[in-house]
Amino acid sequence: CTDAQESIFPLHEGHVSCHFAPHRFCYTNTRVPRWDDVWTRTQIRVNSSRMIRVTQVESEEELEEFSVWSIVFSFLKEKLNDTSIDVDLYSNQTCLRVELLEARTEYCIILFRRFDPKLFLVFFLGLLLFFCGDVLSRSQLFYYSAGISFGLLASLLVIVYMMSRIMPKKSPVYFLLVGGWSFSLYLLQLIFKNLQEICRSYWRYVLGYLLLVGFISFGVCYRYGPLENERSINLLSWALQLLGLLLMYSGIQIHPVALALVAVAVCTKNLDYPVRWAFAAYRRARSARQGPSPPRLLTEEEYRLQGELETRKALRELRDYCRSPEFSAWTAVSRIQSPKRFAEFVGGACHVTPREVSVHEQEYGLGGVFLEDQLFEEEEEEE
């Protein structure tokens, strides 16, 4: 352990240093990111027996600069005795300042590099959202789950907004609420960092809050119901796919690898469209080269069935037209020979009488006059 006063302490990977006084530390990155660092995270961990305040900056110059905003954010910064700071693989230098709230507080600082399963989970979640966005946007289970989760997270923002509305304008707390959403995001970050301690100490209040807000969120989702409009579903699907791409990109530390995987995912999901276009172009080129194919002739059974279907369809359209307001009933009745039969046909009766059916069978059926004439004509032609 050391308590010597130095300007800036350099940090080295895997080296632990302990101190008893406030100091400033900097890490200079000289390692070029490689392809196997896709889910590797570099972190600076500060561990102390008492509460301390850790402030992160980007360079040594910012450690020396005086800024009013740095003082304001130092008051808003949470006091922690165990904190971790992520280091970007492409950052040249990362610096931090450790301030003690009590004299002679011992703290240790270490920089290490390790495989982070959270990055892999973020990438996998983005992959799932991108490829399953179409299915999730139409799922009622996803709709209610997402609505309840969003309600639980947004309730803190609503509480802060309501406090900002009811607080007096001259209250000192109002200056903290001027930031509105930024302060709310900071509050959410503070809660998530201390979530384990909050759940252990105030589990009754946490359970009551989850039940109350979850029930209200479910009621709001049930009131408006799942999405039914096709355009709204498409918008939700596109939003989920875009969120999935962002999660995939943020879950990989190497930027070229992240861009390549995002491009591969987009091409894979939309691969069926180019394949269809290429197949259609191939079919057109082949048909243009071979010429038009001759039409297929109908069989006797297909011809009979097609005639019956087309006849029924034409009769149905004729009845619908006769029942429509556009049809002039008096003009039609004055021109036809049997108005009663026409009225029965419009009402749904058959368009031919049994006598007409019998005459048709005698003339065109087996053994009919028409068939015999056809047979005699064929015999004469053969002779």
DSSP string of 304-344?
A: HHHHHHHHHHHHHHHHHHHHSTTS-HHHHHHH-S-HHHHHH
Domain total in the chain: 3
Residue 98 lies in a domain: yes
Same domain for 132 and 110? no
Same domain, 107 and 129: no
Q: Are 2 and 18 in contact (CB under 8 A)?
A: yes
Residues 99 and 142 placed together within one structural domain of the fold = no
Residue 72 included in any domain:
yes
Asked whether the beta carbons of 37 and 253 are under 8 A apart, the reply is: yes
Boundary (domain end) residue, out of 216, 237, 253: 253
Sequence-ordered alpha helix ranges (H) in 251-299: 255-269, 272-290
Q: Which residues contact 161 (CB under 8 A, 6 or more apart)?
A: 180, 184
Higher-scoring residue by pLDDT: 166, 268: 268
Instruction: Looking at the structure, tell me whether residues 49 and 148 fall in a common domain.
Output: no
Residues 65 and 161 occupy one common structural domain: no
Residue 38, domain member (yes or no): yes
Cα gap 25→197, rounded to integer Å: 29
Is residue 8 over pLDDT 60? yes
In a domain, 276, yes or no: no
| Residue 105 · residue 114 · CB < 8 Å | no
Q: Are 244 and 128 in contact (CB under 8 A)?
A: yes
Residues 128 and 67 in one domain: no
Q: Is residue 78 part of a domain?
A: yes
> Do 37 and 151 share a domain, yes or no?
no
Residue 234 inside a domain? The answer is yes
Q: What is the structure's pLDDT at 188?
A: 59
Q: What is the pLDDT of residues 253-266, one digit of tens each?
A: 888 888 888 888 88
129 lies in the same domain as 219: yes
The per-residue pLDDT for range 130-180, each reduced to its tens digit, is 888 888 888 888 888 888 888 887 776 666 666 656 555 554 544 444 444
Shared domain for 89 and 136, answered yes or no, is no
- Token pair in block for residue 374: 């056809």
Q: Tell me which of 85, 115, 145 is where a domain ends.
A: 115
Tokens of 83: 């904190």
Last residue of a domain, one of 199, 224, 253: 253
Specify whether 211 is located in the same domain as 244.
Answer: yes
Taking only the tens place, the pLDDT of each residue in 194-251 is 677 777 787 888 888 888 888 888 888 888 878 888 888 888 888 989 999 999 988 8
168, part of any domain: yes
Local confidence band at 310 (pLDDT 50, 70, 90 cut-offs): very high
Range of the domain at 366: 327-371
Q: What is the pTM of this model?
A: 0.55
Q: Are residues 28 and 66 in the same domain?
A: yes
* 81 and 138 share one domain: no
For 148, 328, 346, 350, the CA distances from 335, given in Å and listed in that order, are 71, 11, 16, 21
Closest among 113, 56, 62, 63 to 80, alpha carbons compared:
56
In a domain, 322, yes or no: no
**pLDDT above 90: percentage of residues in the chain:** 3
Q: What does DSSP say about strands 93-100 and 9-10: parallel, antiparallel, or unpaired? A: unpaired
Whether residue 5 has pLDDT greater than 50: no
**Cα–Cα nearest to 126, from 10, 31, 266, 5:** 266
